Amino acid sequence: MNYFEPFNTYIDFDEFTYEPEGEVILRNLSNMDYMYQDQEAVNDKLSEDPVIYKFHTADIPEEEGHLRHVMSIIYPGKIGNEFYMTKGHYHEEEDTAEVYFTINGKGKLLMQSPDQDIKILEMKKGSVGYIPPYWAHRCINTGDEPLVFFGVYPGEAGHNYGIIEKKGMKKVVLEKEGEVIVEKNPNY
Ligand code: F6R
Ligand code: ZN
C-alpha cells in the first residue's frame, strides 16, 4: 500500500503566514459583489476591488479518511455598513462537520440549518467553534484587525455555494452607530 506521507505546516501567529503555502485562494470584492446589501457602496469600491479574504488550503486529498485543513484571513473593512465576510457555504456532503480555531481578531461565525434556523458563535483568539453536520457557515470580521482562523474538515466534505450565492443567508451583520448588529436580510 502507498501510505500518504505525514507532514507539518507552520503558522506564524504574528505574520499569519502558512508554510508550506498550499493552495492560496484570494477573494476580491468583484468575486462576491452581489452578496453585499448596499450595491451603491459596492459600485464605489469596485474600481479598487479590495481583497476581502484569502485562505490557504494544505495539499491533502479530497477523500474520506483525510482531514483537510485551512488557514483563512478575513481582512477588516466594510462595504457600506456591512462587515467583510466570507461567501459562506454548505458542505456538498451535507453530513460533514468542521472546526474553526480562531488565531487572531474577532468576529462572528454565522450558521444556518437546512430548516433556516440561525446560530451565531463569537469568534475571538482561542475560540474553537464547532460547525455540526448540515449547517451552512460564514465568518464575519467585526473587528479592526485581520480575523484569522484555522479550520479542519473531512476530506470528502466538498463545498456547496449555490443556495447562498442565490439567496444569501437569513441574517446580515452590520455596524450601526458604532455597534455590531445582526439584522434580518431584507433580500432573503
Ligand atoms: C472549508 C471551510 C473554510 C472556508 C474558507 C473560505 O470547508 O469552511 O476553509 O472554505 O474560510 O470561506 P468560503 O469557502 O465560504 O469562501
Ligand atoms: Zn466549510
104: closest CA among 187, 16, 166? 16
Q: Measured in angstroms, how far is the CA atom of residue 133 from the centroid of ligand 2?
A: 10
Q: Which atom of ligand 1 is nearest to the CA of 74?
A: 11
Q: pLDDT per residue over 42-96, tens digit each? A: 999 999 999 999 999 999 999 999 999 999 999 999 999 999 999 999 999 999 9
Q: pLDDT per residue over 98-154, tens digit each? A: 999 999 999 999 999 999 999 999 999 999 999 999 999 999 999 999 999 999 999
113: closest CA among 94, 85, 92? 94
Domain 10-184's class? mainly beta
CA 67 – CA 86 distance, rounded (Å): 21
Half-sphere exposure of 86 (CA within 13 A, CB side): 24
- Residues around ion ligand 2, judged by CB within 5 A, are 98
Counting DSSP H helices and E strands in the chain, the numbers are 2, 15
CA 142 – CA 47 distance, rounded (Å): 24
Residue 102 in contact with ligand 1 by CB distance below 6 A: no
